[in-house]
Amino acid sequence: MPDAEGSPADVTEMDPPLGWAAGQLVSTPRDLNAFLTALVGGKLLRPAQLKQMRTTIKTPDFDTTGTARYGLGRATFELSRGGVAWTHGGDAPGYVTRNAVTEDGRAATVAVTAPPTSLPAAEHIEAALGTAPCEQR
């Protein structure tokens, strides 16, 4: 991650609370996919709680597409070949994570160690995420 002068900044040691909510989960993409699949699949919450989580409102600024809906820690994400996945990535100094899981359990996580510095770069990450669950199974 570049510092203010454009030189690489060492982010190998960081206090996770500095990232507030985005920095509190340290995991692998595989473990994150397993957690999100269990969450969306109804294995972690009671049905009434899951129903509340799935109650969403329009949040056009949540992603680069402007089509997201958000509700209680989860947002919707439109996939490139149609359909919707549930998502909620996170950012911390030196890292960007985006994830998606479909209702039928297809999941993908994109972890980037060079955070995007432009809208096209952010769109590229979301495009990769929007394609990945479509290619599985």
Show the domains of the chain with their CATH numbers. 17-135 (3.40.710.10)
pLDDT at res. 12: 66
pTM of the entire structure? 0.75
Distance CA 111, CA 29 (A): 7
Looking at every residue in the chain, the average pLDDT score rounds to 82
pLDDT at 45: 92
Report the amino acid identity of residue 72. Answer: L
In angstroms, the CA 12 to CA 43 distance is: 34
**Per-residue pLDDT, 25:** 65
Band the pLDDT of 135: cuts 50, 70, 90: low
The average pLDDT across 95-113 equals 88
For position 44, what pLDDT does the model report? 93
